Chain A
């Protein structure tokens, strides 16, 4: 005990609680079930357009669909901010491969070789 005088060992160490990490909108979140998979799943049933003559209501419907999806995926960000973040993620390798895969799934099978 005598040795430790002046070394500061005696002082009680204050343990600071680690901050709760802020949820991030990253690749993992985007590729999780609530992310793009859900988007692809729900789009088929939820996204219906009226077509000719209803361009603006169709556009509004489209935007609303994405806004609600994004709000659930990452409630923290405003729509425009969220879109910008996702767009940026789209340049990552992993997402690019996934995107290519999704596109290939949609391609007609006869031409695949």
Chain B
């Protein structure tokens, strides 16, 4: 009733009359749905209203009225449900079904408007419509009559035709269905809106379940595997469906079998309980042993005229550390913080983990395996080409989704191979060799994204989006590159000689370009509150890249990289100085001194030195990124903690630049991780490694402070580049490096 003032009364009246003329459940037909006399015309009229009123004048009024009139649940779904299987040939009823689908697609279409496009009218209707859409989805996937399957039936005649015989109407119908599936996959419970306890019914598990049961997954496989043959323009929609089906799904968990799952679940519970007990213990250690009005008070004696500060509470008696912590906590002022930019609510987010129940896991795993076996190459190479030639149907978001899915499927393939090997090992016993019948799967199944064209596209995409500061895109690209590196690494260890060769080639290409090296550093340096997702992917890429390059350059001692001099100035300066201080790397250009202009543009090969390269990671910005990452230590997995550990180990001990981490906030963080309060779990696997690292670092720090009293001041600040060397070594750097 109070909603009546939101929409023009006349519009509402028209729409309502159309909906009621469409048909209804008849009391004398025991609740069966009966079509109105002019049902088809009604459906067409409603469609016209949506198009000519809502779309034309950029409003959502008709959609709102239709939601209030319960058109989808009360009529459309009932009509579809009443469409008997044997009546597929009936012209009129199939026409009506199609008309229903034509309405369902716009009604379930995601409402994604940027702040700029929103009108008052939108603000008024969007929350209501979002809730209505979740309700649509719930009814669509839960309906007894298998609505999705019915929708497939509408399209089957068109799909069955070979591509050249399809009319544009057929193509349109296929697209309509795929968009319908996309919408259903995409709708999720709107964040920040109340929903009456039906979250489970529209969850990812429920979606997967329905897609499996109603043969949608099979259809997706058919279309995807025939991409480029029977299908052509449907690639991006399929991409979207896959994206919304798979985003956030944990690959590792997907491939666990039942026992592992159960074990890991009960392990999880056990470890969570243990963690909680640990937390309680550390709390109890500091908790008061007497009642809260016991009224202890102590003085902290100061060395200046001010004399004392008073701290109360008996817990402060135990030791100085507690007292000081308490003094600190009782301060009322907080440094104003910048509001975090990580408030993105859109449905494109892929870095929020999603959990699936066990039966959905099974279905999805089967689907993913079949997809890898049959559809990955045709679909992904097809989309890549579409993106490259900037086809009309390719939208901005598709490239991001493409790279996210590339990374997702590559990881899935890796995990699948690993599981297979493990299973094989188990069945054969540990001693036997694995080589004989393991040849069956080479890496050909995913070869379509391991070619030069993809690398070029990926590089361009990452550089582009990095320049545009489009962080979610960078995130997707980073993930893809990380997974490519990992899979190449596995290929290099394959027993097939051919695979090894290919891997060698790819590695050559990836490591050859210095711009790639620069970009990875730039991504790592580029962290400035983009949220945890960015931290995670950028640190992972840096970690994987460094380790692989280290190994690679150890095996290929005479590795060359192509470097590019950009600045004219530095070039000229180098040319001028070449006379007196001949630097090793400049020798080969010495003869070409006269054509400096040419030399500017020419790419030069230069010998690659891993130590020097990894030293480039040891700058303050990169260290700060890893520190920011480590600050989340309470929530990090042991694999992530290891990643941070290795990095700091590299900084302090491999590169001998421990001075860089000698900064009080970092020391305080490390100290807190080990000694608490709220430190790392002492039973955790990484605790020992961290303990050792921190201990060694402090040892060095103490020594350093005794050697060099100026460290007392420098401990407060990020180090100035020029003083790092002196602080570390105690003498000036002899040779001034030219860059």
Contact = CB atoms under 8 A, between A and B. Distances in A.
Contact of A87 (B702, B718, B727): B718
B667 A86 contact: no
A72 B715 CA distance: 18
Given A51-B702, A55-B699, A59-B671, A67 B665 contact: no
A39 B732 CA distance: 25
Given A56-B671, A106-B709, A111-B732, A87 B726 contact: no
A94 interface: no
Contacts, number: 124
Given A66-B664, A67-B328, A84-B665, A56 B674 contact: yes
Nearest to A62: B667
A60 B671 contact: yes
A44 B321 CA distance: 21
A27 interface: no
Contact of B335 (A43, A84, A107): A84
B705 A100 contact: no
B717 A87 contact: yes
A107 B331 contact: no
Interface string A74-113: 0111111101111100110001100110110111000100
A59 to B, nearest CB: 5
A83 B664 contact: yes
Interface in B698-722: 698-699, 701-702, 705-706, 708-710, 712-718, 720, 722
Contacts of A107: 726
B293 interface: no
A75 B333 CA distance: 10
A63 B732 CA distance: 29
Contact of B708 (A51, A76, A106): A106
B9 interface: no
Contacts of B664: 63, 66, 83
Contacts of A43: 709, 712
Given A56-B671, A59-B671, A90 B716 contact: yes
Q: Assign chain B's interface to a size class.
A: 35 or more
B327 A60 contact: no
A68 B325 CA distance: 11
A72 B308 CA distance: 11
A103 B723 contact: yes
Contact of A99 (B321, B667, B699, B720): B720
Contacts of B674: 56
Contacts of A71: 309, 327
B292 interface: no
A62 B321 CA distance: 11
Contact of A90 (B302, B705, B718): B718
B320 interface: yes
A37 to B, nearest CB: 10
B726 A103 contact: yes
A107 B729 CA distance: 11
Contacts of A87: 663, 665, 716-718
Contacts of A68: 302, 324
Interface of A: 36, 39-40, 42-44, 46-47, 49, 51-52, 55-56, 58-60, 62-64, 66-68, 71-72, 75-81, 83-87, 90-91, 95-96, 99-100, 102-103, 105-107, 111
22 contacts: A49-B706, A52-B699, A55-B694, A55-B695, A55-B698, A60-B320, A60-B321, A60-B675, A62-B701, A63-B668, A64-B320, A66-B715, A67-B324, A68-B302, A71-B327, A72-B304, A78-B331, A83-B716, A86-B716, A86-B717, A90-B716, A106-B710
Interface of B: 302-304, 306, 309, 320-321, 324, 327-329, 331, 333-335, 663-665, 667-668, 671, 674-675, 694-695, 698-699, 701-702, 705-706, 708-710, 712-718, 720, 722-723, 726-727, 731-732
